[in-house]
Every structure is written in structure tokens, then in C-alpha cells.
Amino acid sequence: MEDAAETEARVRRAAAGDRAAAEALLAGLLPRVRNLIRYLVRGDQDVDDMAQQALVAILRGLPGYRADAPLERWADRITAREAMAYVRRRRTRDAREGAELALEVLPAPEETARYLARRELARRLDTLPDPQREAIVLHHLVALTVPEVAEALGVSPDTAKSRIRLGMEKLRAAAAQEGADAP
């Protein structure tokens, strides 16, 4: 794993047009970008498209990156912003076209346990209203601060905090109910 100085140097080279540095930087960020998008949106049908758009936005934003925060957190904010914009555009398009959801593809057998854990987390998150789910994912899975969540979602910090609290209360209540329903 490279240190902060190496990352900063690679960012500068990529921002200056060094194709190899840009490719290496984006390849390193791709798994994180894809995972964040999977947690932010319902369903996996558009993850690749959203990831591509997020990586393009990250690449375009490199000249403005300041190394006062880790590159990954900066990229997370851009990814969240791009994913939310994509979802808004998709909702508008789906409402017009009445589009159907894509079928889910099952994972390879060796990835089944991780897949099932991710699906369970996604299932629980899917029970929440979009604003609460998005705030919880950004705060608890991406580890953004409340002000960073607010900025990414375009709301006030109080609204972000409220969404996180209400969503967590709903998740706890649902988990308690599921536990009570278990044999």
C-alpha cells in the first residue's frame, strides 16, 4: 500500500495528464467506488454505469484535490454526489418509460457468504426511505462526518443527523421485531 506522499504524487501526475498514473489511481479507487454505489442505490443494475460516471468526475476533479483529507474520502464524496444525481435522473426516466428492474445475477459459490451478508444488509437498508438509507450509508459505511453527509446530500447538518437517527431507530426496531418473530 502506498503512503500519502506517493498518493499525492500520483494525483499530481494524473492531474497533469499522466495516463498511467490516472489509470493506476482509478483502478485503485474502483472497488471502493463500486461498493459505495451498491450501498447507496437499490439494485445492482446500473452500478457499472454509475461507477464509470463517478470515476470520470473524480478524474476531472483531480486538479482541485487538496491533500488535506485522504483521497478515498474525497473520492467518496464525489461518488455519492454522482450516484445521487444518477438516481435522480434514472427515477425521472423510469417514471416516463415505466422501466422494469433488471434480474439479479447470482455470485460464484466461493463468494456466497459475503454475498449473502451484503444482500442481508442491503435488504435491511432497502426497508428505509431513500433519504434515511442514503444518510446511514454515508455516515456508517463510508464514515463521513455529519457535516460531510449533509454536504453530499445537499441538506443541513441537522437534517442529516435527523435522517441518520430516524433510520437507525427503524433498523433497530425491525431487527428487534425479526428477533421476536424467530422460532
Q: Write down which residue in 104, 123, 145 finishes a domain.
A: 104
Residues 120 and 152 in one domain: yes
Residues 77 and 167 in one domain: no
How many domains does the structure of the chain reveal? 2
Average pLDDT, stretch 150-165? 92
Residues 119 and 90 in one domain: no
Global confidence as pTM: 0.60
Identify the domain containing residue 116 by its residue range: 106-183
pLDDT by residue (tens digit) across 102-156? 434 555 666 666 666 667 777 788 888 989 988 998 888 888 889 988 988 889 9
Residues 72 and 9 in one domain: yes
For 43, 76, 137, 138, the CA distances from 143, given in Å and listed in that order, are 22, 10, 8, 6
Residues 98 and 113 in one domain: no
pLDDT by residue (tens digit) across 64-102? 888 777 889 889 889 988 888 887 776 666 555 543 444
Residues 122 and 81 in one domain: no
- Least reliable range by pLDDT among 21-25, 99-103, 137-141, 166-170: 99-103
